[in-house]
Structure formats: C-alpha cells, structure tokens
Amino acid sequence: MDNTTNPGQRSSDQGTCALRGGNDLPSCSIVIFGASGDLTARKLIPALLNLFRHHCLPPRFNIVGCGRSPMDHDAFRRSLAEFRQQNQPDDDPTAWQKFAPRIFYQELRYDQPADYLVLAELLARLDREHGVAPNRVFYLAVPPSLYPLIGARIGEAGLAAATAEENSSQVPWSRIVVEKPFGHDLASAVELDRVLHNSFAERQIFRIDHYLAKETVQNILMLRFANAIFEPLWNRSYIDYVGILSGEKLGVEHRAGFYESAGVLRDMFQNHMMQLLALTAMEPPSRFEATQVQDEKVKVFRALKPLDSGDLAASLILGQYGPGTVAGRMVAGYRQEQAVAADSTTPTFAAMKLLIDNWRWRGVPFYLISGKRMPAKETRIVIQFKEVPHSMFRRETADTILANRLVLGIHPEEKISLSFQTKSPHSKECLQPVTMNFNYERRRNNRPGFDAYEMVLLDCIQGDHMLFWRQDGVELSWAFLDPILRTCEECTVAEKLLQFYPAGTPGPEAAHPWMKMLSDPE
C-alpha cells in the first residue's frame, strides 16, 4: 500500500478534516489547579500555547493557574517563561508574548472554602474585563488524593453549576478534568465518583486517558468501520488471536512513590490496555458519537471472562525487572530504585491472556502485554489471522504457510501493515511472505499534529467525551481487575507468581513465546 490517494476517489483531506476548534468555540476560562507543578509547565501550558498558535483556542479565553505558592500574575508568567527557556526553547517568541497576558494566577489553599470564593470573584472580574463568557474548564493537575476535596470545594463555591442544556453555546457551562488513576480499586473508584457527582453531572466530568488521544488509536475505529474489507473477517472464524503490546524502555524513574502501590496492572492495564482492547473488540456503534461508542466499549468490558483465580498462572505472567543493560547502559533493578522496598513484589511487567465471552470472540485469546525496562519502546496491536484451511502448495513448501498478520503500529511508527504470501520471483511454487505498509506519519502532509494534551484540552472545551472514560467503563474495568489484584497481592501468591527479568530483555522467560506471537513481521 503506498501513501497516495486514488484520484478517482473523494478525499476528505481537503476540507472536512480541517483543524478543529478556533472561532466556533465559546469563550471560556481554563482554571488549572496545581499551577506551580511540573505538569502545568511541562505539558498544559505548552499545549495551550500550541493550540493558541494554531488559532484553535476560542478567540477569547483566560487561563487561571491556582496553587499554594504565593505569587502574582507576573511572577507566574515569568516562572512559565523561564521554564520554557530552559526546557522548550522557543522558535516563535511572539506567540508567547501574545499568549502570556491571558494567563493569571490565584493563590489558593485547596481545603479553604473562602479561597474558592476569591477565585470565583477573580474569574467573574476577568470575564467582565476580557469579554469572556462564564464557561469554565477546571483542570486538576494535582495528586489524585486531592480530587475529591477540590471537586467538592468547587461545587460549594457555586462554580460547578451548569444548566441542563450544556450543548447550547448560549448558556454557561462548567467542566472538570481529571487524570488517571481513577481510584486504586473498584471501591475507591466508586467513592471518588460519588464525591465528584455531588457537584458535577457525568457530562461535566472528563476522565483523561492519553492513549485515546493518540491518532493511531483513534484510527482503529476508522480502519474497522470505514472499510468494508476488514469487518467481515474481524471475528472468531478468521482471527486466531489478538495481541496488544505496550513495552517501554524506561524504568520507574522518579515515580516509585506512586508505582510501588500501583504496579503495572493498575498503571497500564486498568486504563490504556483496556481501552485498546475495547476499541479492537467492540461491535460497530450506530453513530460515531461519544455515547454510542462508550456504550459499545462497556459491552466488551461486561463480556470479559473472569480469570480463574485458582489458576492465575495459566493466564497471567507477572515480572519485575532486575539490573541489566538498556541501550548499552547498565541500569538498576526495580528493587534498587530510589523509594522502592528492597523486597518489593510490585510487578513492572504483566502478560495476560483473556477471553471475551460473546458471539464474535468466543475462544479467541487476547494477549495483553505491558512492561517497563524492555528492549524497546513499542506499542502495537497484532491481529493474527488463521492459516488457510487447505494448502495446495504443501508439496513444495514447508508444512505451514504463514498466516496473514495485520499490525496496527502505535509507536514508534504510526502505521498499518499487512503481511501476506506472494509467489517468490523466478520460482515455480515457492512462496514469499511480504508486507504492505501504510505509514500514518507520512500521510499527515506536514499538517500540525496535536499531541495528547492538546487534543484532550480542545475536546474538553468542545464538550466532546469521545476521548474520555465514562464512569461505568471505569467501574467495569476495575471489576475485572479487582479479583486478580486481590489474589496477586496475597503475599505467598505474589512471591510465587513474580518472575524476574534483566532490564533490557523482553520480560520473564515464561512470557517470551507470547512476546514472539506479538512480533512485527517487518
């Protein structure tokens, strides 16, 4: 497959897929809690600046950072500018000069109701002075333990109120954005939701999963449902197994405080891996709208066959990285990382074989693998088709003919590749496997791509829930993982299940056959 468009066919590139946002968006204020934190300077402000630079923010907007440190507006702007200079040197300083005056700061103690009233006054004053409508996005760039407190205080200050007709651009709206983890287990996820729902309706809550903002992840639905050729084969009759891999070279870095009590199952499986699974396995929604898409995803979660906790080892391999070599550099094992217990049994790798109990997928194994300190950073979905039912070439070839494999590459290459058999040139009957490759990156035609934070901020301002988790999905995902986590975390089981792998290798040896099944034939 090359990267050209058939001139006889209509292409939506020229018009309908133009950059989103901009003048059509209602004016609003984006309020960031945790303004002096790393996430704000490293991700949120650059994302907003980039959207501004591409005219994708509403023409009128205010950004208000809130944090515990005492600062005035100018000091906040200066601190952001300094961070930019040191970490993201500017190729376009004039954009920053135009953008910076729209940024403000409010000192705020998260537990103090009075401080939220001061914030409300500041927002109202800024609205009047800058002609901005009283629409609000509250972004919680704070540790998850603060979500319930801040959510409640925003509500008490009357800042969460939104009218029933939120979709109308005439009325003020208020939205809250939270990032994973959404709880530590099912009970805490339900409790967090209860507290947020005291102030916000479900349609006002935006739960981010940055995997959903990846172009190639969104492309899964387009590939499946905008083409007639895949869907008839997308089932147990033709698919042998499905593999979903998200491997990383990085170790736990500076996040051991969180990771020690999370491990790979909470950090990657409860959210990103489940979303990739749902997009790959779901039924076609009736319309490409958030509610319909979310409805189909939750049906997949409901159909997951619980793992047999009496025999977890048959469907779950857990690993933890030991010392090893990554990219030619010696690195410490997980237990030697700072703030990790010397006898920690936290898994940094998991390979899970699961089944979906429904008509389409009965009996087809889904292999989900994710781990830290693996040889490469690679994320992909592998659809392994069945072998041909009968090989008339058997006389001349080895016994098996390699079955077709479709790979949806998410990282490092954003691509779709399909491997199949062809006649080997100059031979009579010899087969040769080849790969057709579509590279998403090249297809972008130098259009500015949006990174995950840009995408989710824009969707939140637009009120589009497509790239976010809905609470029923969160709960079903936890409901599937909870019994597994409980069993894994019993000491004796944890010690028995956990296998060690040297950093820089593809997980514990027991998982190597599964890893091989998920390889990219290219």
Under the rule (CB under 6 A), what is the footprint of ligand BG6?
Answer: 210, 246, 248, 267, 379
CB of 179 to ligand BG6, least distance (A): 8
Q: Residue 273 or 498: which CB sits closer to ligand BG6?
A: 273
The CA distance from 114 to 157, in Å, is 8
* Residue 296: how many other CB atoms lie within 10 Å: 18
DSSP assignment letter at 511: G
CB of 246 to ligand BG6, least distance (A): 6
The CA distance from 340 to 317, in Å, is 21
Three-class DSSP labels, 289-328: CHHHHHHHHHHHHHHECCCCHHHHHHCEEEEEEECEEECC
Q: What angle do CA 146, 149, 150 make, to 5 degrees?
A: 80
* Residue 364: how many other CB atoms lie within 10 Å: 19
Q: Residue 283 or 520: which CB sits closer to ligand BG6?
A: 520
The CA distance from 423 to 433, in Å, is 9
Catalytic residue among 272, 426, 465, 512: 272
Q: Residue 182 or 241: which CB sits closer to ligand BG6?
A: 182
CB of 408 to ligand BG6, least distance (A): 14
Q: Residue 102 or 266: which CB sits closer to ligand BG6?
A: 266
Which residue number places its CB atom closest to ligand BG6?
267
Q: Residue 197 belongs to what H/E stretch?
A: helix 186-199
Q: Residue 79 or 379: which CB sits closer to ligand BG6?
A: 379
CB of 474 to ligand BG6, least distance (A): 14
User: Is 62 within 8 Å of 104 (Cβ atoms)?
Assistant: yes
CB of 185 to ligand BG6, least distance (A): 17
- Does residue 306 have a cis bond before it (omega within 30 degrees)? no
- 272 flagged as catalytic: yes
CB of 248 to ligand BG6, least distance (A): 5
Closest alpha carbon to 401 in 411, 409, 391: 391
Q: Residue 103 or 268: which CB sits closer to ligand BG6?
A: 268
DSSP 84-120: HHHHS--S-HHHHHHHGGGEEEEE--TT-HHHHHHHH
Active site residues: 272
